[in-house]
Amino acid sequence: MGTYGDEYHGPAVLRPLSSVCGSIYSYGDSMNRIWMKLKYVKNGLKNLNTHEFSGIESKVKDFRRHLSNIQAQMRNVNHQTTLFEKEKVIKQHLEKWSLIEESIMKQKSRIQWLKLGDSNNGFFFVSMINRVAHNYIRSLVNEQGALVQAITEEILSYYKQLFGASTSHLPCVNVEVMRSRAVLNRQQLSLIKPVRRKEILDALKELMIKKHRE
Residue 98 shares a structural domain with residue 61: yes
Domain membership flag for residue 110: yes
Do 95 and 43 belong together in one domain? no
Do 73 and 115 have their domain in common?
yes
- 200 located within any domain: no
**pLDDT number for residue 7:** 41
Prediction pTM value:
0.37
- CA gap 60, 103 in Å, rounded: 13
Show the domain range for 47: 1-54
Would you tell me how many other CB atoms lie within 10 Å of the CB of residue 191? Answer: 8
Q: How many domains does the chain have?
A: 2
The reply to whether 46 and 9 lie within a common domain is yes
Q: Of 37, 54, 71, which residue constitutes the final position of a domain?
A: 54
The Cα–Cα gap between 33 and 40 comes to 11
- List b or e across 81-101, with b for residues whose CB sees 16 or more CB atoms inside 10 angstroms: eeeeeebeebeebbebbbbbb
Number of H helices, E strands in the chain: 9, 2
Out of 14-18, 35-39, 164-168, pick the least confident: 14-18
Residue 40 covered by a domain: yes
Q: Are residues 64 and 115 located together in one domain of the fold?
A: yes
Q: Within a domain: residue 176?
A: no
> CB-side exposure of 208: number of CA atoms within 13 Å?
6
Residue 41: per-residue pLDDT: 78
Task: Give the tens place of pLDDT for each residue, 102-135.
Answer: 777 766 655 555 555 555 566 666 666 666 666 6
